[in-house]
Amino acid sequence: MPVIIELRTDIEEYIKKHRLSKKWEKSKKLFKNNPSHPSFNTELLEPKHRLIYSFRIDRKYRALFISLPKDKIEIVTVTKHYRK
């Protein structure tokens, strides 16, 4: 089972600022138990050679992550899925 390493301070602040704390905690727990759960809609982003993936926190926000050795995951950013 993957382990999400501690978030950087700027990502934690973004989550708090956008009132995603409860959704983030729920997503983190579910991701740890089942990273391929259909609700995440996990996908490999372009360009694929960079190996950056994303999963859904909710309909509006996504977490972008990279896989590290020893089944660890690093969240590189949390962002709006669709930008206008």
Question: Which domains occur in the chain, in start order?
Answer: 3-80 (3.30.2310.20)
pLDDT at residue 39, rounded to an integer: 86
d(CA 71, CA 79): 23
pLDDT band at residue 1 using 50, 70 and 90 as cut-offs = confident
**How many CA atoms, within 13 angstroms, populate the side-chain half-sphere of residue 38?**
0
pTM, rounded to two decimals: 0.88
Q: What confidence tens digit (pLDDT) does each residue in 32-72 have?
A: 888 888 888 889 998 998 899 999 999 899 999 999 999 89
Other beta carbons within 10 angstroms of residue 31's beta carbon come to 23
Summarize the confidence of residues 5-15 as an average pLDDT: 96
Tell me, rounded to whole angstroms, the distance of Cα 52 from its chain centroid. Answer: 10
Give the contacts of 23 (CB within 8 A, at least 6 positions apart).
57, 58, 61
